[in-house]
Amino acid sequence: MASVAGYAIVTAVVNLYRHGTQSASAIFATVVMLLVLNGFLLVVSTLNLAIQALEQKVNVIAYLKEDVDDETGEALRDRIGTVGSVVETDYLSRAAAMARLREQLADRAELLNMVSGNPLPASVEVRVRDASEVRKVAEILRAEQSVDEVTVPEDAVDSLVRLAQAARFGGAFTIIGFAGVTVVVIGNTIRLAVYARRQEIELMRLVGATDWFIRWPFVIEGMLYGIVGAVIVGAVTLLALGTVQGALLDVLKFLPIRSDPLLPLQLLVVTGFVGVGVGTVGSYVSVRRFLDA
Amino acid sequence: MIILRNVIKAYGSGKQALSGVTLTVPNEDFVFLVGGNGAGKSTLLKLLIRQEVATSGVIMVAGHDLKTLPDRRVPAFRQQLGVVFQDIRLFPQQTVEENVAFSLRVAGMDRRVGARDLVAEAMDLVGMSGYARRFPHQLSGGEQQRAAIARAIVRSPTLLLADEPTASLPPDVSWQIIELLGAINRRGVTVIVATHDRDVVNRMRRRVVELDAGMVTRDDRFGRFGTTASEQGAFKAQGAEWGEGGLTLPGVQGPNA
């Protein structure tokens, strides 16, 4: 067994070198398809970050009853902050609300003069992780005794929920679809490389080689196509990711998007799995076709 | 020993490539299979290496019933044979030495002590000792066929099958190849050669089995490519008789004896 494994590895490496044109074609196809796949992943990932940032811009505001003091308001703020989907909370006292209004209407003093006393209520402002959680948080706030009224931007929430769902499904569909195309293109390239050597396979059978004796070197060769392709794409990804992602974020600079620190790792894992997996399975399937003939 | 009994090979179209072939080839025999295009020579060889399976009839090769031989045991069966192809079929990306050694590797014999010697010996036998590091495209047609024969004999098979081994080779090279096969036969290997080459058959004067339209029409112990009716008459005048094994001459011990 060790002998066959050693033979298969050595033969695969030698064939990779000796069938240089076929190997280069298969590796080239692998590199191109994986780079495009990574591009798709990057765009979809950034789009999702943008949607997420938009979702977090939706505020739920709970206006407190007139007799509620600051201590109770702050306690409510702290309590609602522990809800899982809440990312940020803020308590605005009546005095702070008035101060904010004065600041906003600084150039319209006549309007402020019409106001006597402080008619503004204290409020708790809440930002949630995604728009679909907004109503749930609003219900929790409405159940509080100290809360007089809760406002939710219904239209914005509905639009954002639909947009987020469309973006997630669309993104997943695109990625899965393109991963499928990647598998087919790389698989077919390997199939062509194996097809060019079908007479070699037939000859091996006629001189008494077992199916696995024939298959192993091809499978390892396919795996090597994937490894070489994935290493190239991995290196290019690491080198270019910062620049490309920076350009994308620059387009969306009106949104507070931070790049996902796990993205490079995710891209490398996808590159490795798709490259090596498709190379290996593609070779196995292609050779099997000729062995079954 | 090869035994064929009433072997029929029909293809999907219903056309019979072999129509009831019965033939016995004892060990260490040398047989020329002759006949026109489509006579069934190549089909017969394909059946003998289990590249194809007979539609009906019995084929026994080296103790294996090829009709019932399971697919998983076909590689081990083929490892007992040596096969030389019309189109030579060396691995183009392997050197001559690697091509020859491949036969040993396939059979798991490459790690045995003396495996390299076996390769060297086979290459020496076919006169290719100095060509070990060359690739097939660097060889002439005759040299390529010699390398293919070395690959076929390196495992010391008891049966060597050659399908048109001299096709597209010049006459002098063809004769060298056939002489080489004769030498291998003298080492105790049963050799079956399918050929169109009239000259080499006539010069060798070995057993000739002629096929026509999928049937054995002639089986001469010491035949010529196309034995004419007058030549048959001359043989018969010397007391020759047609029997199951073909034409036999009195006092001459043929391979079937």
Cα A269 from Cα A159, distance rounded (Å): 34
Residue A293: which pLDDT band, with cuts at 50, 70 and 90?
low
The mean per-residue pLDDT over the stretch A93-104 comes to: 86
Task: Return the structure tokens found at B131.
Answer: 């060509």
pLDDT: is A11 or B151 the higher one? Answer: B151
* DSSP code of residue B19: E
**Percent share of chain A, pLDDT over 70:** 98
Specify if B28 maps to a domain.
yes
ipTM: 0.80
Say yes or no: A47 and A65 in one domain.
Answer: no
B101: number of Cβ within 10 Å: 24
**Percent share of chain B, pLDDT over 70:** 87
Neighboring chain A residues of B89 at a CB cutoff of 8 Å: 199, 203
Query: Cβ of A206 and B51 within 8 Å?
Result: yes
Query: Cβ of A19 and B93 within 8 Å?
Result: yes
pLDDT: is B48 or A255 the higher one? Answer: B48
Residue B229: which pLDDT band, with cuts at 50, 70 and 90?
very low
Specify if B236 maps to a domain.
no
Cα A34 from Cα A20, distance rounded (Å): 21
Specify if B251 maps to a domain.
no
Question: Contact B126/B150 with Cβ under 8 angstroms?
Answer: yes
Query: A202 lies in which domain range?
Result: 2-53+160-292
Say yes or no: A8 and A147 in one domain.
Answer: no
Cα B211 from Cα B36, distance rounded (Å): 8
Residue that terminates a domain, selected from A101, A132, A152:
A152
Say yes or no: B95 and B187 in one domain.
Answer: no
Neighboring chain A residues of B92 at a CB cutoff of 8 Å: 200
Identity of the residue in B91, B108, B151 whose CB atom sits nearest the CB atom of A200 = B91
Query: Cβ of A208 and B105 within 8 Å?
Result: no
Question: Contact A279/A186 with Cβ under 8 angstroms?
Answer: yes
**Percent share of chain B, pLDDT over 90:** 63
Residue that terminates a domain, selected from A123, A152, A181:
A152
Say yes or no: A36 and A129 in one domain.
Answer: no
Question: For every residue of B101-112, which 3-state class applies, written as one string?
Answer: HHHHHHCCCCCC
Specify if B235 maps to a domain.
no
Say yes or no: A133 and A237 in one domain.
Answer: no
Query: Cβ of B83 and A206 within 8 Å?
Result: yes
Task: Give the C-alpha distances (Å, rounded to integers) separating A174 from A171, A268, B41.
Answer: 5, 19, 57
* DSSP code of residue A293: -
Say yes or no: B168 and B140 in one domain.
Answer: no
Cα B116 from Cα A125, distance rounded (Å): 84
Across B125-222, the runs of DSSP E, i.e. the strands, are 159-163, 190-194, 207-212, 215-220
Neighboring chain B residues of A209 at a CB cutoff of 8 Å: 75, 106
Say yes or no: B141 and B190 in one domain.
Answer: no
Query: Cβ of A203 and B89 within 8 Å?
Result: yes
Specify if B250 maps to a domain.
no
Say yes or no: A12 and A101 in one domain.
Answer: no
Give SS3 for B86: coil
Interface size A-B, in CB pairs within 8 Å, comes to 45
Say yes or no: A40 and A175 in one domain.
Answer: yes
Say yes or no: B34 and B60 in one domain.
Answer: yes
Say yes or no: A283 and A170 in one domain.
Answer: yes
Residue B189, phi then psi, degrees to nearest 5: -95, 130
For the segment A156-175, what is each residue's pLDDT rounded down to a tens digit? 778 877 888 888 888 888 88
Which stretch of A86-100, A101-115, B53-67 has the lowest confidence by average pLDDT?
A101-115
- How far does the CA of residue B216 sit from the closest CA of chain A (Å)? 26
Q: How many domains does chain B have?
A: 2
Residue A31: which pLDDT band, with cuts at 50, 70 and 90?
very high
Query: B176 lies in which domain range?
Result: 1-80+157-228
Q: How many domains does chain A have?
A: 2
With an 8 Å Cβ cutoff, the interface of chain B facing chain A consists of 49, 51, 75-79, 81, 83, 85, 89, 91-93, 102-103, 105-108, 110-111, 151
The domain that holds A102 is classified in CATH as 3.30.70.3040
Specify if B170 maps to a domain.
yes
Report the mean per-residue pLDDT for chain B. 86
Report the mean per-residue pLDDT for chain A. 85
Say yes or no: A286 and A173 in one domain.
Answer: yes
Neighboring chain B residues of A211 at a CB cutoff of 8 Å: 75
Specify if B255 maps to a domain.
no
Residue B231: which pLDDT band, with cuts at 50, 70 and 90?
very low
Say yes or no: A42 and A175 in one domain.
Answer: yes
Question: Contact A106/A133 with Cβ under 8 angstroms?
Answer: no
A144: pLDDT strictly greater than 80: yes
Give SS3 for A11: helix
CA closest to A203 among chain B residues:
B89
Task: Return the structure tokens found at B129.
Answer: 């000792």
R_g of chain A, CA atoms, integer Å: 30
The mean per-residue pLDDT over the stretch A184-211 comes to: 85
Residue A179: which pLDDT band, with cuts at 50, 70 and 90?
confident
Specify if B49 maps to a domain.
yes
Mutate to test the interface with B, among A9, A201, A203, A207 (most CBs of B within 10 A): A207
Say yes or no: A48 and A170 in one domain.
Answer: yes
Query: Cβ of B151 and A207 within 8 Å?
Result: yes
For the segment A121-132, what is each residue's pLDDT rounded down to a tens digit? 999 999 888 778
The mean per-residue pLDDT over the stretch A141-159 comes to: 85
Cα A207 from Cα B77, distance rounded (Å): 10
The domain that holds B5 is classified in CATH as 3.40.50.300
Say yes or no: B29 and B56 in one domain.
Answer: yes
For the segment B131-178, what is each residue's pLDDT rounded down to a tens digit? 999 999 999 999 999 999 999 999 999 999 999 998 878 888 888 889
B232: pLDDT strictly greater than 70: no
Alpha-carbon torsion, ordered A172, A175, A180, A186, to 10 deg: -160
Residue that terminates a domain, selected from A117, A152, A187:
A152
Say yes or no: A11 and A148 in one domain.
Answer: no
Cα A74 from Cα B11, distance rounded (Å): 90
Across B64-110, the runs of DSSP E, i.e. the strands, are 64-65, 81-84
Strand pairing of B207-212 and B30-34? parallel
B255: pLDDT strictly greater than 80: no
pLDDT of residue A2: 59
Residue A228: which pLDDT band, with cuts at 50, 70 and 90?
very high
Residues 6+ apart with CB under 8 A from B215: B18, B19, B20, B21, B40
Give SS3 for A217: helix
The mean per-residue pLDDT over the stretch A92-106 comes to: 86
CA closest to A213 among chain B residues:
B106
Residues 6+ apart with CB under 8 A from A122: A63, A64, A68, A70, A73, A91, A92, A93, A94, A97
Give me the amino acid identity at A261: P
Say yes or no: B146 and B164 in one domain.
Answer: no
Across chain A, the runs of DSSP E, i.e. the strands, are 59-64, 86-92, 123-128, 147-151
- How far does the CA of residue A203 sit from the closest CA of chain B (Å)? 7
Say yes or no: A143 and A209 in one domain.
Answer: no
Say yes or no: B62 and B184 in one domain.
Answer: yes
With an 8 Å Cβ cutoff, the interface of chain A facing chain B consists of 3, 7, 14-15, 18-19, 199-200, 203-211, 213
